[in-house]
Amino acid sequence: MSLLEQEAAGVVMTPDNIRTKQLPIAVNLGVAAAALVVSAVVVLGTGIGNWVLVLVLGLVAYLVGLFFAASRVEGKRAAKNRTMQSLIYAACVLAVLPLASVVWTLVSKGFERLDGNFFSTSMNNISARDPQGGAYHAIIGTLEQVGIATLIAVPLGVLGAIYLVEYGRGRFANTVRFFVDVMTGIPSIVAGLFILSFWVLIVSPWFNDGNPRFSGFAASLALTVLMLPTIVRSTEEMLRLVPGPLREGSYALGVPQWKTILKVVLPTALPGIVTGVMLSIARAAGETAPVLLVAGGAAAINFDPFAGNQQSLALFVYQQAGDASRYAPARAWTAALTLVALVLILTIAAKLLARRNKLSR
Amino acid sequence: MAKRIEASNVSSYYGSFKAIDSVSMTVEPKTITALIGPSGCGKSTFLRSINRMHEVLPGARIEGRLTIDDQNIYDQDVDVTAVRRMIGMVFQRPNPFPTMSIYENAVAGLKLNGVKKKSLLDDAAEKSLRSANLWDEVKDRLDRPGAGLSGGQQQRLCIARTIAVEPQVVLMDEPCSALDPISTLAIEDLMFKLKDRFTIIIVTHNMQQAARVSDKTGFFSIDKTGDPGRLIEYDDTQKIFSNPSQKKTEDYITGRFG
């Protein structure tokens, strides 16, 4: 008798018994139904919760019941396997459920004002009794602010990451890496305050006859502060994943280091870098506080990001949601839907662009 | 175009660890030289020192003189990329560039070094792929990813890539260790073919391979783990495998050690 057979008799199958019984699918479903019924009776009977609790409790009961049922039929090892498998599937569903719920809420509530008027007018001269009004100015603001922030943050972030991975040695690189980590944790309101005190109050008067002023560009700077550490860190991780022999293969052809980085390392890491950049853009597009602090928000259209107040979609949602007008909530929902759709479209476009290379599968 | 390589008292370090101690050898143009020896004896380190690939690793450095046609490649004013363009290298694991097609891989060295003319690139791609015995297998799918080929094909693609830049010396670091016997044979045939044009130095664990392909053989060894590797014997391959002058060499090739 082998040591395994002695010590783990319930786990190891002996050579003369490699077949095993399987729990019939009907029993599996029966356990699930029974668990749901029991949990519904308990929860609704005692009145301690609604259908959400029924589902969660039912799930727990199902997993426990499944384990015992499977133990009887299939043995302990197989039962553990089956239960864990169900647990993983359940966790996956639970993780996606809130997301689906968010999307459904946005679509169902944002649908009401999803009209041409919303996308072609601003809130200029819209009173509390006016059902019209739209987010045109906010969309322009978001696109300009996030666009400028991306233009600044992506080159800086990617180059910084290249420095850290390919060139950075010693104390300076470690210091940079440390401060990037610290920057990752900066609350957005702090970034906004920094730009307010530095750019809006100190620098912007130089360009405006001594008077400080809000601008979309200031918002871009605040968003840049927020985007930079995310881009640096994600790009750094992606560049580190590029195998060393690939670089050496290029060096061995007499290709200089900068060209190796540009033509071999970066293209290999590109899909991952794009994902990191899109995450940071999505985060920046949803920021409210810094925009409120340094761009001020506006009711009218302002195409110039360098002068005067500008609105953004997130700020628009915040203001409309708190507005007394009975038409405002619908506008807030539609703006929120627009924001999510915008980020989604950008992400899809970027992914397609990064995959434009026909070779990557 | 093939060149003579002369190493005198070359020692390589990884930080404070001395990997090889005072290696001296001369490699004649248009010959194949095999470096054999047990694992960890510094063969690969020595090979990587020849085209200054050793120093890519942090903390790695070299002492001694390494000349190619009487120019010391470790002189202060030497351009590393020029050295590497002159001395190509094939690695143990095939490493085609994953974002490039077969065609792009074959001409990567030319393209990345500034050759733009399509007709020149096309000719070079066909020529180098033919030299690497790969043309017939890939000519209909040059735009497919290089990483989609089989292991042996990938390695030949890497050889094509290396010889496309027309170096004078080709270094091979166990090029067949990840390949099946048929691919190995294909690459050995290829080495014979390339011998007319290049000086080839190959590191191998396969002694039959060393005996089959090389003109000269160098035997590296270490006394014990932690000691630097040394060149024990360097002579004509025939002599090394029939009548070596050192006891250690004889023990190794007859399988009594290592």
Nearest to B195 by CA among B170, B172, B158, B216: B170
Contact B91 A252 (CB under 8 A): yes
The sheet carrying B5-14 orders its strands as: B17-27, B5-14, B60-68, B71-72
Q: What is the pTM of this model?
A: 0.83
- Mean per-residue pLDDT for B203-220? 91
Nearest Cβ partner for A263 among B81, B112, B161: B112
Q: What is the pLDDT of residue A319?
A: 93
* pLDDT beyond 70 at B183: yes
Q: What percent of chain A has pLDDT over 90?
A: 61
Q: Which of A169, A241, A265, A359 should be substituted to probe chain B, the one whose Cβ sees the most B Cβ atoms within 10 Å?
A: A359
Angle at A235 between CA A232 and CA A240, to 5 degrees: 120
* pLDDT beyond 70 at A17: no
Which residues of chain A are within 8 Å of residue B53 when distances are taken between CB atoms? 248, 251-252
* pLDDT beyond 80 at A245: yes
Gap between the Cα atoms of A188 and B8, Å rounded: 61
Gap between the Cα atoms of B24 and B66, Å rounded: 9
pLDDT digits (tens, 9 = 90+) for B71-117: 899 988 889 998 999 999 999 889 999 999 999 999 999 999 888 99
Q: What percent of chain B has pLDDT over 90?
A: 41
Q: What is the pLDDT of residue A361?
A: 44
Nearest CA in chain A to B109: A253
**Least confident residue range of A143-157, A218-232, A292-306:** A292-306
A155 CB near a chain B CB, below 8 Å?
A: no
Point out which residues pair with B67 in neighbouring strands: B6, B72
Task: Report in angstroms the alpha-carbon separations of A127 from A122, A124, A323.
Answer: 12, 9, 11
Which residues of chain B are within 8 Å of residue A265 when distances are taken between CB atoms? none
Q: What is the pLDDT of residue A33?
A: 93
Contact B112 A259 (CB under 8 A): yes
Which residues of chain A are within 8 Å of residue B178 when distances are taken between CB atoms? none
* pLDDT beyond 90 at A145: yes
Contact B101 A359 (CB under 8 A): yes
**A357: pLDDT confidence band, cut at 50, 70 and 90?**
low
Higher pLDDT, A239 or A8: A239
> Taking each helix axis from N to C terminus, what angle separates A136-162 and A328-354, rounded to the nearest 10 degrees?
40
Average pLDDT, chain A: 89
Gap between the Cα atoms of B235 and B245, Å rounded: 9
Q: How many CB atoms lie within 10 A of CB B63?
A: 13
- Mean per-residue pLDDT for A103-110? 93
Q: What is the pLDDT of residue B257?
A: 59
* pLDDT beyond 80 at A359: no
Higher pLDDT, B258 or B180: B180
**A11: pLDDT confidence band, cut at 50, 70 and 90?**
low
* pLDDT beyond 70 at B21: yes
A184 CB near a chain B CB, below 8 Å?
A: no
- Mean per-residue pLDDT for A26-32? 90
**What is the interface pTM, i.e. ipTM, of the complex?**
0.89
Q: What is the pLDDT of residue B258?
A: 47
A264 CB near a chain B CB, below 8 Å?
A: yes
Q: How many CB atoms lie within 10 A of CB B75?
A: 9
